[in-house]
A and B are shown apart, each in its own frame.
Chain A
Amino acid sequence: MTRYSFGGDEHLFVECSEEMSLEAFFKSLSMAKGVRESGIRGVTEICPANASFQVKFDPDVIHPDDILKEVQAIEGAAEKAEPVLKTRIVEIPVFYNDPWTHETLMRFRERHQDPTGTDLDYGARINGYGSVDDFVAAHSGSPWFVSMVGFVAGLPFMYQMVERQRQIQVPKYLRPRTDTPRLTVGHGGCFGCIYSVRGAGGYQMFGITPMPIFDPTQTTSYLSDFMVFFRPGDIVKFKPIDRDAYDQAVEDVDKGRFFPPIREVSFDLREFQKDIDGYNAKLEGTLNGH
């Protein structure tokens, strides 16, 4: 089922599954970790993605055939490994239906599937929710895996930790916008994202977080060690906040006293699959210090 292909003479591409699932994400992350730990010579970079990963290598050091064999050998071990991930859960405040993404989505309305409403209206309707509030409750009710960090600097792709039939799905804009506010919480296909920088984008826009996730100046308190906040495998729980809480958080960030709640957790895929909502409730309990 796992498919291997070369990206020119410097990249090995490994697709664990054509379709997205938590199992495929977990396998790709485990394999990517296995490749990193195996210390294969000539490997220069490992990039995990949603259901696949990529290994960049130096063909002057290792022949492509040899790296292929070495990575394939890891696949067997990764499949036998316990599907347990030591990671962290972080709470991200989100001001849904905020004025900035609202202004932007109105500005680009003619590029949208439904110019008569907002992105939230549209997302709620096509996913079968009776109201925007119900939709926001679903979006913020269950945690998300950061399944990939990339596209541009520090941008997390996120996959919600619920059964497939509960996955939120929306198409991207008909034509991409030329502008998206920094820190917009967006959604395209089955993936959520947070735009790390201002710029072009095609994902539907649901809200905004006051919490910077990429800071090349490293002046943000919790980004002083490294300029990128997210890592693949992080678990995210969104917390809806109102305008006052948003303004307060922005001020706290500016004054260097904002620290996102973060807890170390161990995630067990098999336990999770036995009782998804129960497992997520436990994760949330850990986040809230219970």
Chain B
Amino acid sequence: MAIKVLHHGLATTVQDLGRPGYFHLGIPVGGAMDRFALRAANLLVGNDEGAAGLEAVFIGPKLEFTEDALVAVTGADMPAKVDGVVQPGWSAFKVKAGQVLTFDFLKSGARIVIAVSGGIDVPEALGSRSTYPIGALGGYKGRPLAAGDELPVGKGSLAGEGRTVPEALRRKPGMPAELRVVPGLYWHRVTEQSQENFFADEWKVANEADRMGYRFKGGRKLDFVAREQPFGAGSDPSNIVDSCYPYGSIQVPGGTEPIILHRDAVSGGGYFMVGTVISADMDLIGQLQPHTPTRFVRVTMEEALAARKDRKAALSALRDALA
């Protein structure tokens, strides 16, 4: 069984739940930006939650199937069509041999996940099928898909057509989007007034928003607490001696435009960070389009842990719903 790529969309990559364990060598965890969407899509088509699927951003690919398969599309609202017939989102539907899967325009969100029964069966690299293009690692030949590619698909079951994820479990960013942040890391480097402003201001997702990081603009510039720069840090007040960057950490080069590092993060560098988006909200970032109004919401560690628990509960509910 294979899938022929007739058109690649904008940037479509093979992704699973990522390759943890190599960040200390600069190789990020990668994997689906919206983990919950990947798990849901896989469960819908009878795969293991962590099977490899396709992640497409803003524009869907055009795919021809060589054999019958069960398919599910989750994440963003971008209607899938089989030979031109619209299929429901967050639901399992059948694609027959020779049929072509295409996508309508994006209605909301940013990224869809396409799961196929059997999973995308490219070779694993460092324990994962996720694509890390900068390192030419994993995925299909270490790169985003291109027209003419033929994706191998594993053996799957065709049972489960029509199953669907309950509406209440389909998570979407609000308007404005709210991202919960635990302040920390180099938070003390900015003035109290700037600390207040950071959470008070409305930001907008900038055009520079991809799997490595999401940039935001529109809030007030952060002012720094005066100091003599430490040796090795560099002369700009936003510079630090190059350190590790947590996933979800928010760096603000020059104090102007915050950047949240995401799944394909650079592992370290010389910009100070004001804090970190909590694990429970990382999936949401992957569904933000450029220009989306966004608020950063200050939370405590205990609130972050409670939110994490809520996400676990949602995942349990998803598993129960599709069991």
Report the separation of the CA atoms of residues A214 and B243 in the bound assembly, to the nearest whole angstrom: 21
Report the separation of the CA atoms of residues A6 and B136 in the bound assembly, to the nearest whole angstrom: 32
Interface size on A, residues (CB 8 A): 57
B304–A8 touching, CB < 8 Å: yes
Least distance between B178 CB and chain A CB atoms (Å): 15
B residues near A, CB below 8 A?
20-27, 125-126, 132, 134-137, 142, 182, 184-185, 187, 230-235, 239-244, 246-249, 266-270, 273, 275-280, 301, 304-305, 308, 312
A287 at the interface (CB under 8 A from B): no
A residues near B, CB below 8 A?
5-11, 13, 15, 17-21, 44-54, 56, 59-60, 63-64, 148-155, 157, 164, 167, 171-172, 188-191, 196-197, 199, 214, 216, 227-228, 230-232
Report the separation of the CA atoms of residues A210 and B270 in the bound assembly, to the nearest whole angstrom: 27
B20–A228 touching, CB < 8 Å: no
B23–A56 touching, CB < 8 Å: yes
Which of chain A's residues has its CB closest to B235's CB? A171
Report the separation of the CA atoms of residues A63 and B304 in the bound assembly, to the nearest whole angstrom: 12
Query: Of the candidates B23, B185, B277, which one forms a contact with A5 in the assembled complex, judged by CB atoms under 8 Å apart?
Result: B185
Q: State whether A6 and B276 are in contact (beta carbons under 8 Å apart), knowing that A151-B266, A152-B266 are contacts in the complex.
A: yes
Report the separation of the CA atoms of residues A13 and B246 in the bound assembly, to the nearest whole angstrom: 8
Report the separation of the CA atoms of residues A152 and B261 in the bound assembly, to the nearest whole angstrom: 13
Report the separation of the CA atoms of residues A50 and B245 in the bound assembly, to the nearest whole angstrom: 12
Least distance between B119 CB and chain A CB atoms (Å): 21
Report the separation of the CA atoms of residues A189 and B239 in the bound assembly, to the nearest whole angstrom: 10
A197–B134 touching, CB < 8 Å: yes
B268–A49 touching, CB < 8 Å: yes
Least distance between B195 CB and chain A CB atoms (Å): 15
Residues of A within 8 A of B184 (CB): 5-7, 13
Report the separation of the CA atoms of residues A51 and B137 in the bound assembly, to the nearest whole angstrom: 29
Q: List 18 A-B contacts (CB under 8 A).
A: A6-B276, A9-B280, A10-B248, A10-B279, A45-B20, A49-B242, A56-B246, A59-B279, A59-B308, A148-B268, A152-B267, A153-B25, A153-B27, A154-B27, A189-B239, A189-B270, A199-B134, A231-B25
Residues of A within 8 A of B230 (CB): 17-20
B134–A45 touching, CB < 8 Å: no
Query: Of the candidates B232, B233, B267, B308, which one forms a contact with A47 in the assembled complex, judged by CB atoms under 8 Å apart?
Result: B267
Which of chain B's residues has its CB closest to A4's CB? B184
Least distance between A178 CB and chain B CB atoms (Å): 13
Q: State whether A189 and B233 are in contact (beta carbons under 8 Å apart), knowing that A9-B304, A150-B267 are contacts in the complex.
A: yes
Residues of A within 8 A of B231 (CB): 19-21, 164, 190
Residues of A within 8 A of B185 (CB): 5, 7, 13
B276–A151 touching, CB < 8 Å: no
Residues of B within 8 A of A232 (CB): 24
B277–A8 touching, CB < 8 Å: yes
Least distance between B306 CB and chain A CB atoms (Å): 10
Residues of A within 8 A of B312 (CB): 60
Least distance between B297 CB and chain A CB atoms (Å): 13
- Which of A8, A63, A154, A230 has most B Cβ within 10 Å? A8
Residues of A within 8 A of B134 (CB): 152-153, 197, 199
A189–B21 touching, CB < 8 Å: no
A8–B26 touching, CB < 8 Å: no
B242–A191 touching, CB < 8 Å: yes
Residues of A within 8 A of B23 (CB): 45, 47, 56, 150
B26–A150 touching, CB < 8 Å: yes
- Which of B125, B244, B305 has most A Cβ within 10 Å? B244
Residues of B within 8 A of A51 (CB): 232, 241, 243
Residues of A within 8 A of B304 (CB): 8-9
Least distance between B159 CB and chain A CB atoms (Å): 32
Least distance between A112 CB and chain B CB atoms (Å): 16
Q: State whether A150 and B268 are in contact (beta carbons under 8 Å apart), knowing that A189-B233, A216-B135 are contacts in the complex.
A: yes
Least distance between A6 CB and chain B CB atoms (Å): 5
Q: State whether A8 and B232 are in contact (beta carbons under 8 Å apart), knowing that A44-B20, A153-B132 are contacts in the complex.
A: no
Residues of B within 8 A of A148 (CB): 242, 244, 268
A150–B232 touching, CB < 8 Å: no
Query: Of the candidates A52, A60, A150, which one forms a contact with B266 in the assembled complex, judged by CB atoms under 8 Å apart?
Result: A150
Report the separation of the CA atoms of residues A172 and B126 in the bound assembly, to the nearest whole angstrom: 33
Residues of B within 8 A of A149 (CB): 24-26
Which of chain A's residues has its CB closest to B301's CB? A64
